[in-house]
Amino acid sequence: MATHAIAEPKHLWLGGVEPMKASYGKLMMWIFLLSDTFTFSALLVSYGLIRYSHQSYVGKSADFVFSHAYWPIPEKVFEAVPFLHGVSLPLVFVGIMTFILIFSSVTMVLAVEAGHRMDRADVEKWMLWTILGGFTFLGSQAWEWGHFIHGTDTGTAVKELVNGQLVTRTINGANLIENQYGPQPFADLFFFITGFHGTHVFSGVIINIVIFFNTATGLYDRRGHYEMVEKVGLYWHFVDLVWVFVFTFFYLV
Amino acid sequence: MADVVQQTGEKQIAPPQTKVIWRTFWILAAVTALEFVIAFTMNSGIFKVAIFVGLTIVKATYIVGEFMHLKHEVKSLIWTVLIPTIFVVWLLLALMLEGGNIGLE
């Protein structure tokens, strides 16, 4: 198959067994990832539009308080780390999560590389590390969500008009109806974007487990190639790539 | 992969070649660390946002180019992926600016 494609480079577009010198499965994975890019972009584009249609906080970072009047500064919202209650560590936990995901991406490439060498033991080892990284990330995100939903110790006091009376009420945490950190869309977008990404990580972990199982039972050895590891690797890197963008737009900007 | 050692009868496993992979990892780690430094030392503004977007594109290039191996695919596949993505990035920037105009009222 491969020699055929190399012998006739002019016919790359004609399809056949390997259009664009990529196997059918790999090409379809690329096209799927491209369509998934559009879905994620829709969420990030919405975030960009809504974020900048709200007021930005003006003033010193130290004087910042949560208010519905302006968009919150992310480092003031995401400053908690497990087991360190009450300690302000802005963006530390989300930074750790980023490194976990980048690292699991590296172990995934190492699994793909081992697959090229038909080294079954090495593929198994690196797939296990990748699965472990995926679970660690999911656990971290569950904690992050839990903290975000429960909110800070003091909460945020808001004034509301109830039956013509101005009533002061304290909001703790955030959900799809109310939000102590800032304007409501901030919480909605947080849940939608990190939730959609987390769903991708979760399905990626499941697929990785299937691939690990197939490797361990020697399916790819019998098949003669480890291309499935490569295809799943593409998906896993894409998930990492999306996180890089979520990290920038949601946590840094 | 044509250059991979061919298996003939006996099991012979080539030594791992992971130099490029680890170099890419260290680049990604360094860029992320740099983003942290910038997040806490620079005042917010359009310039800071531009730096973050630039660094993110650097990271994306390394992940897609090296980890996803796109750099080593044929040109038609590279452009198939890249051209739609460029339009998406344009839409993202355009609507961020548009959002600012909604806010001004």
Interface probe for A, chosen from B5, B36, B67, B93 (most Cβ of A below 10 Å), is B67
Spatial distance between the Cα atoms of A183 and A190, rounded to a whole number of angstroms: 12
Query: Residue A191: pLDDT above 90?
Result: yes
CB A137 within 8 A of CB A97: yes
CB A240 within 8 A of CB A102: yes
pLDDT at A114: 93
* A122 interaction partners in chain B (CB closer than 8 Å): 13, 16
pLDDT at B1: 47
pLDDT at A17: 66
Domain check: are B88 and B101 in the same one?
yes
Interface probe for B, chosen from A30, A117, A220, A227 (most Cβ of B below 10 Å), is A117
Instruction: Report CA A249 to chain centroid distance, whole Å.
Output: 12
Total domains in chain A come to 1
Domain check: are B59 and B44 in the same one?
yes
CB A83 within 8 A of CB A119: no
Per DSSP, the three-state class of B14 is: coil
Spatial distance between the Cα atoms of A180 and A251, rounded to a whole number of angstroms: 17
Q: Among all residues of chain A, which has the CA nearest to that of B59?
A: A244
Q: What is the mean pLDDT of residues A157-165?
A: 81
Domain check: are B68 and B40 in the same one?
yes
C-alpha distances (whole Å) from A193 to each of A39, A94, A198 are 10, 15, 8
The CATH number that applies at residue A103 is 1.20.120.80
Q: Would you place residue A208 in the very low, low, confident or very high pLDDT band (cuts 50, 70, 90)?
A: very high
Domain check: are B86 and B101 in the same one?
yes
Spatial distance between the Cα atoms of B25 and B45, rounded to a whole number of angstroms: 29
* A20 interaction partners in chain B (CB closer than 8 Å): 73-74, 76-77, 80
Q: Would you place residue A1 in the very low, low, confident or very high pLDDT band (cuts 50, 70, 90)?
A: very low
pLDDT at B9: 47
Mean pLDDT of chain A: 88
C-alpha distances (whole Å) from A242 to each of A79, A232, B56, B64 are 22, 16, 11, 11
Lowest pLDDT segment from A37-46, A217-226, B3-12, B36-45? B3-12
Q: Is residue A44 part of a domain?
A: no
Inform me whether the C-beta atom of residue A199 falls under 8 Å from chain B C-beta atoms. Answer: no
Is B73 within 8 Å of A20 when comparing Cβ atoms?
yes
Per DSSP, the three-state class of A228 is: helix
Query: Residue A247: pLDDT above 70?
Result: yes
Spatial distance between the Cα atoms of A150 and A145, rounded to a whole number of angstroms: 9
Chain A residues 108-167 with a CB less than 8 Å from chain B: 108-110, 113-114, 116-119, 122
Query: Comparing C-alpha atoms, which of A248, A235, A91 is closest to residue B89?
Result: A248
Domain check: are B78 and B63 in the same one?
no
pLDDT at A157: 81
**Alpha-helical regions (H) of A8-164:** 24-52, 74-77, 92-116, 120-150
Chain B residues 55-84 with a CB less than 8 Å from chain A: 55-56, 59-60, 63-64, 66-68, 73-74, 76-77, 80-81, 84
Domain that holds residue B82: 74-105
The pLDDT tens digits of the residues spanning B53-96 come to 899 999 999 999 989 988 888 888 899 899 999 999 899 888 98
Report the amino acid identity of residue A95: G
Is B92 within 8 Å of A48 when comparing Cβ atoms?
yes
Domain check: are B101 and B62 in the same one?
no
Take residue B29 and report the two structure tokens written for it: 């780690």
Q: Would you place residue A156 in the very low, low, confident or very high pLDDT band (cuts 50, 70, 90)?
A: confident
Query: Residue B5: pLDDT above 80?
Result: no
Is B88 within 8 Å of A38 when comparing Cβ atoms?
yes
Q: Is residue B46 part of a domain?
A: yes
All residues at 6 or more sequence positions from B25 whose CB lies less than 8 Å from its CB, including other chains: A102, A103, A106
Domain check: are B39 and B63 in the same one?
yes
Q: Is residue A27 part of a domain?
A: no
Q: Would you place residue A15 in the very low, low, confident or very high pLDDT band (cuts 50, 70, 90)?
A: low
Q: Is residue A56 part of a domain?
A: no
* A21 interaction partners in chain B (CB closer than 8 Å): 73-74, 77
Residue A162 distance to chain B (closest CA, Å): 27
Inform me whether the C-beta atom of residue A37 falls under 8 Å from chain B C-beta atoms. Answer: yes
Inform me whether the C-beta atom of residue A13 falls under 8 Å from chain B C-beta atoms. Answer: yes
The pLDDT tens digits of the residues spanning B11-47 come to 678 888 888 899 999 999 999 999 988 888 887 778 8
Lowest pLDDT segment from A133-137, A216-220, A243-247, B17-21? B17-21
Query: Residue A7: pLDDT above 60?
Result: no
Domain check: are B80 and B97 in the same one?
yes
Query: Comparing C-alpha atoms, which of A108, A36, A79, A47 is closest to residue A181?
Result: A79
Domain check: are B55 and B29 in the same one?
yes
Domain that holds residue A157: 73-252
Spatial distance between the Cα atoms of A230 and A25, rounded to a whole number of angstroms: 10
Is A44 within 8 Å of B92 when comparing Cβ atoms?
yes
Q: What are phi and psi of A218, to 5 degrees?
A: 80, 15
Q: Which residue did the predictor score with more confidence, B73 or A195? A: A195
Q: What is the mean pLDDT of residues A78-91?
A: 84
Residue A68 distance to chain B (closest CA, Å): 14
Domain check: are B99 and B61 in the same one?
no
Cα three-residue angle B19-A233-A26, rounded to 5 degrees: 115
Spatial distance between the Cα atoms of A116 and B72, rounded to a whole number of angstroms: 15
Place of tokens 């939903």: A149
Output the DSSP codes for A59-94. Answer: S-GGG----TTSBPPHHHHS---TT-TT---TTHHH
The pLDDT tens digits of the residues spanning A171-185 come to 888 999 888 998 999
Strand partners, A161: A166
Q: Which residue did the predictor score with more confidence, A125 or A8? A: A125
CB A234 within 8 A of CB A30: yes
Q: Is residue A198 part of a domain?
A: yes
Q: Which of A49, A56, A109 sits opposite B98 (nearest CB)?
A: A49
Take residue A217 and report the two structure tokens written for it: 């039972």
pLDDT at A140: 95
Q: Is residue A49 part of a domain?
A: no
Domain check: are B78 and B97 in the same one?
yes
Q: What are phi and psi of A171, to 5 degrees?
A: -105, 130
Domain check: are B78 and B103 in the same one?
yes
Q: Is residue B40 part of a domain?
A: yes
Query: Residue A57: pLDDT above 50?
Result: yes
Total domains in chain B come to 2
Residue A130 distance to chain B (closest CA, Å): 14
Place of tokens 């992940």: B63
